[in-house]
Amino acid sequence: MTKNYQITDIKIKKNNLNIVKLYINSELFAEIDYSVVQDLNLHIGETVSEQMLEIIEQNSMLSSAKIEAIRFLSYRPRSEWEIEKKLYNKKYQLNIIKNTINWLKEENLINDRDFAIQWIRYQVGKKPAGRIKLRNELFKKGIDKKIIDSAIDSFFEQYEDELALAKQLIRKKQFSLHSKNIELKPVKIISLLKRQGFSNTVIQRIYEEFLETENTEL
């Protein structure tokens, strides 16, 4: 025998006007976003099937996941993988996560290439870094390899030269050590540039220029 389900009440939540409490057969069924009520045209007194209850539940979870994703993005830009991981840790179903990601893309709220370029600018602004380190860090954030390569190439073509960044890093280090009366040794230069992900070609060029400067001073 098929059980009858009726929407017996829809109450707006006191501490959040965008959330409503949906009552089925006088019992609280779910707290859902008001947009779900509007999208499904739900109203008090309506008889609903088990299939409709599942649809309501899926729509409610999707709405909740979207809100969670927007909240996560409000702190700073995120990669697609970071949002997926966040929603997965919040125990959302895989189909809900996929639909949420698709919605974010459609609304242009996430774009891994834009994210990669913004992230590169921010990191280089904090401390000069080379292609190797930037590539490795972006890979850890789940960015596709082709997108990483495209973003890095675009950044270095338009904004900064890798050799110039390496020189900037060394100058900052020299200034820092000079105030402490400490000399920057060639081996330290190589070590610093390697840690910051500069290529062997760039490191060799900086090393040679450093030695030329020292010989000139002598």
Mean pLDDT of the chain: 89
**With a threshold of 0.75, does the pTM exceed it?**
yes
Q: What is the pLDDT of residue 112?
A: 96
Which string of b and e fits 89-114 if b means at least 16 CB within 10 Å? Answer: eeebeeebbebbbeebeeeeebbbee
- For a pLDDT cut of 70, what percent of the chain falls above it? 95
pLDDT(3) > 80: no
pLDDT(183) > 90: no
Distance of alpha carbon 178 from alpha carbon 197, whole angstroms: 24
- For a pLDDT cut of 90, what percent of the chain falls above it? 61
Give which of 214, 178, 208 is closest to 193, Cα–Cα: 208
Q: What is the pLDDT of residue 218?
A: 32
Q: What is the pLDDT of residues 123-179, one digit of tens each?
A: 999 999 999 999 999 999 999 999 999 999 999 886 568 889 999 998 888 888 877
Contact 98, 77 (CB under 8 A): no
Helix (H, G, I), strand (E, B) or coil at 16: strand
Comparing 209 with 5, the larger pLDDT belongs to 5
